[in-house]
Chain A
Amino acid sequence: MKPVKILRIAFNMVKANKLRSWLTIIGVIIGIASVMTIVTTGEFFQDQVTKTLEELGGDTITIVASVPFNFMEENASQVIVESENGSENGNISGGGDDLSNSMDFGDVETPKLTKMDVFTLRRVHGIQYINVNIETSAELEFGGKKTSVYVEGVDPRAWPNITKKKVGEGRMLQPGDRTSVVISNELANDEALGRQIRVNQMILLNGKSYRVIGILAKDGGLLGGLGGLFGSSIYMPYEEVNSLSTTEEGVDEKETDVYDSIEVKLYKNVDYEATIKEMENMLRLSHRVDEKNQDFYVSSGKEEMENTKKLINGLTAFLAFIAGISLLVGSTGIANTMFTSVLEKTKEIGIMKAIGAKNRDIMLIFLCNSAMISLVGGIIGILLGTAAVQVILFLISISMKVPFEFALSLKGTIIATLVSIIVGLIAGIVPAKSAAELKPVDALRYE
């Protein structure tokens, strides 16, 4: 039989039972739309998180000083040895009698990162830029009004190359800058100051005067949505932080050449993991520690990013699996409908066979029938899924304050389409086969 004729007969079968066909189609629609929605939403979240983590410096590695993890379990003698080590190096801080520094560890030296560590890291091959960070807070005075700001001392030679922040007006810090600062967009527009800070205007920090040479661009994406977690910030050459005289109680004066953290950016094509290992090893050597009593912590944003991605991936896969079940239910619906029509059409199958139809013809008619149902279900499901995805993403972007963008997961669409075709075929094949293999006499006798 010619394909056109088979299609026409199959189409008439679908049409002859409109209600049943539509009910079956609805099952397929729901299955496909939910798979698409979940896969696309999952991919959206993954994108957002990746973007955000990258903005936070996803590919930079941060080193901070930290008390050894197993410090509490270490026995007392070890503690003493370590403190002796410290004093031998002449590195001991004056913090012994400073309450805020000594905490509960008695006379144990507080771990810290110093210029020495920067020298150590310079010898690691894969490293392109090394930035040092010193954080503090200061009182800003502008146009007669005062506000408290977060100050970050950075290395003007490396920071512009490492940070994900972009300058909106003016310029970034440059090597050689001393009393120049870059300020955040939030600070420039801080309402507490009464008027906007502009590029090239002077501000007072703890009474010392600095020139604003750049204003950062507003953060986009998820971060911007957080409303500027680090809202009113000032970035200045790190040497300058030490000369900010402390005014407030509780804010300790920063030691020269001691850093709160060191940020490192690797060359593009180096082995990420191996370089991190090398860094850790060299730092351990220079600190004379081993893995157990290591007094620094290397955190690579990439690792966290990968972990988060994996987590979202897993979650998406899990949800897609659940959505897949609804697709499976939809396909059972097709199979059920097909079996019902085979039963209903038994006599007609007998008649068609009596007048010369081959098993193949009968089989194709029923397969086309289920293919049509799953195709219509698939198309409407994809359209509906696309619409549902946009609505969901729109709501998400409103609640996360990120700009809404049309998004459609190619993967999700392809999966949904393929699944709908496969589902239609599998659900159709068994009933179609049983229809085709009916013996003509038996089929004819069927009432």
Chain B
Amino acid sequence: MDKTLIAFRNVWKTYQMGEVQVNALKDVNAEFEKGEFTAIIGPSGSGKSTMMNLVGCLDVPSKGEIFLKSENIARLEESDLAALRGKTIGFIFQQYNLIPGMTALENVLLPLEIQEIDDNIAEKRAKELLTLVGLSDKMQNKPTQLSGGQQQRVSIARALASNPEIILADEPTGALDSVTGKEVMTMLYRFWKENGKTVIMVTHDMHLAKYAQRHIELKDGKIVRDETNQDQLCPEY
């Protein structure tokens, strides 16, 4: 079986800023295999988020092709793409991106409701996940009633709710202090290790990047380094 989950083939992403064109990604080729833990690093503005958005099917390339589970995402209908995204990808954002009007539980339930999972099963799963991230007593809290670290843990629970193959995390600890950041990082690592998920994480922090197996370094929209992390850290948990 083909182990390649995601493949970038000569991908360009160009933003039109009035008169000027910004090439956020320039002819990027990359493959991500099932079960890999990859860290994308690089200076600000190098195209890391752009790349993540393309992996997550939130955006389409200007040129080139992207394959997700050997499907060319450019060829998919909007609704199929949404369904694929919902089933295969779990997002963890820097700014948590929880829905403010919903409780922690409702936020975790949302992806399951979108996929029309049976209510009882969905509720059971959401509660399990929230317990797993240590928020069993905060399920009815709205995001504003939670700390940053707690909100990010809700968003991890949400990302895992539909049991996706790929977890995409764009600077998941960017808004957290180093202690909470490390906690969140440990959690992410644990899910990767225990469930064999494919994790792609964007980070500025070289220390956090050490938890990943593979490092892809971007600079000015190009991959300048792609290597296996020789000294991958393994946090104690």
Judged by a CB distance under 8 angstroms, whether A195 is at the interface is: no
Contact across chains for A439 and B110 when beta carbons are under 8 A apart? no
Judged by a CB distance under 8 angstroms, whether B79 is at the interface is: yes
Question: Given known contacts A356-B111, A356-B162, is B116 in contact with A1 (CB within 8 Å)?
Answer: yes
Contact across chains for A348 and B85 when beta carbons are under 8 A apart? no
Contact across chains for B114 and A356 when beta carbons are under 8 A apart? yes
Most chain A CB atoms below 10 A, which of B85, B87, B162? B85
B148-167 to A contact mask, C-beta < 8 Å, 1/0 = 00000000001000100000
Q: What number of A-B contacts does a CB cutoff of 8 Å give?
A: 68
Contact across chains for B116 and A2 when beta carbons are under 8 A apart? yes
Alpha-carbon separation in the docked complex, A355 to B87 (Å): 9
Judged by a CB distance under 8 angstroms, whether B56 is at the interface is: yes
Contact across chains for B83 and A356 when beta carbons are under 8 A apart? yes
Question: Given known contacts A354-B58, A356-B82, is B53 in contact with A361 (CB within 8 Å)?
Answer: no
B162-197 to A contact mask, C-beta < 8 Å, 1/0 = 100000000000000000000000000000000000
Chain B contributes a number of interface residues (CB within 8 A of A) equal to 28
Contact of B115 among A347, A352, A356, A440 (CB under 8 A): A356
Contact across chains for A354 and B116 when beta carbons are under 8 A apart? no
Chain A residues with Cβ below 8 Å from B87 are 356
Contact across chains for B114 and A441 when beta carbons are under 8 A apart? no
Alpha-carbon separation in the docked complex, A356 to B79 (Å): 9
Q: Shortest distance in angstroms between A438's beta carbon and chain B's nearest beta carbon?
A: 11
Q: Shortest distance in angstroms between B121's beta carbon and chain A's nearest beta carbon?
A: 14
Alpha-carbon separation in the docked complex, A353 to B82 (Å): 7
Contact across chains for B59 and A355 when beta carbons are under 8 A apart? no
Judged by a CB distance under 8 angstroms, whether B113 is at the interface is: yes
Most chain B CB atoms below 10 A, which of A12, A351, A354, A359? A354
B37-64 to A contact mask, C-beta < 8 Å, 1/0 = 0000000000000000100101100000
Most chain B CB atoms below 10 A, which of A5, A353, A356? A356
B56-90 to A contact mask, C-beta < 8 Å, 1/0 = 10110000000000000000001100110111001
Question: Given known contacts A1-B116, A444-B97, is B86 in contact with A355 (CB within 8 Å)?
Answer: yes
Q: Shortest distance in angstroms between A351's beta carbon and chain B's nearest beta carbon?
A: 5
Judged by a CB distance under 8 angstroms, whether B101 is at the interface is: yes
Judged by a CB distance under 8 angstroms, whether A358 is at the interface is: yes
Q: Shortest distance in angstroms between A193's beta carbon and chain B's nearest beta carbon?
A: 81
Contact across chains for A441 and B53 when beta carbons are under 8 A apart? yes
Question: Given known contacts A2-B113, A347-B97, is B83 in contact with A358 (CB within 8 Å)?
Answer: yes
Contact across chains for A356 and B85 when beta carbons are under 8 A apart? yes
Q: Shortest distance in angstroms between B227's beta carbon and chain A's nearest beta carbon?
A: 29
Contact across chains for A360 and B79 when beta carbons are under 8 A apart? yes
Return the chain B residue nearest A439 by Cβ: B59
Judged by a CB distance under 8 angstroms, whether B146 is at the interface is: no
Chain A residues with Cβ below 8 Å from B101 are 12-13, 16
Alpha-carbon separation in the docked complex, A261 to B110 (Å): 84
Contact of B114 among A16, A348, A355, A444 (CB under 8 A): A355
Return the chain B residue nearest A362 by Cβ: B82
Alpha-carbon separation in the docked complex, A441 to B56 (Å): 10
Judged by a CB distance under 8 angstroms, whether B99 is at the interface is: yes
A1-32 to B contact mask, C-beta < 8 Å, 1/0 = 11001000000110010000000000000000
Q: Which residues from 346 to 398 on chain A have a C-beta closer than 8 Å to any C-beta of chain B?
A: 347-348, 350-361
Judged by a CB distance under 8 angstroms, whether B211 is at the interface is: no
Chain A residues with Cβ below 8 Å from B8 are none
Contact across chains for A358 and B58 when beta carbons are under 8 A apart? no
Inter-chain pairs besides A5-B113, A444-B58, 12 sampled, C-beta below 8 Å: A2-B116, A348-B99, A348-B100, A351-B98, A355-B85, A355-B86, A355-B91, A356-B86, A356-B114, A356-B162, A359-B82, A361-B114
The 10 closest A-B pairs by CB, nearest first: A356-B86, A440-B58, A355-B111, A358-B82, A441-B59, A358-B79, A5-B113, A356-B114, A441-B58, A351-B97
Q: Can you list 13 A-B contacts with CB-CB less than 8 angstroms, sorted by A residue number?
A: A1-B116, A12-B102, A351-B98, A351-B99, A353-B82, A353-B85, A354-B58, A354-B85, A355-B110, A356-B82, A356-B85, A356-B162, A441-B53
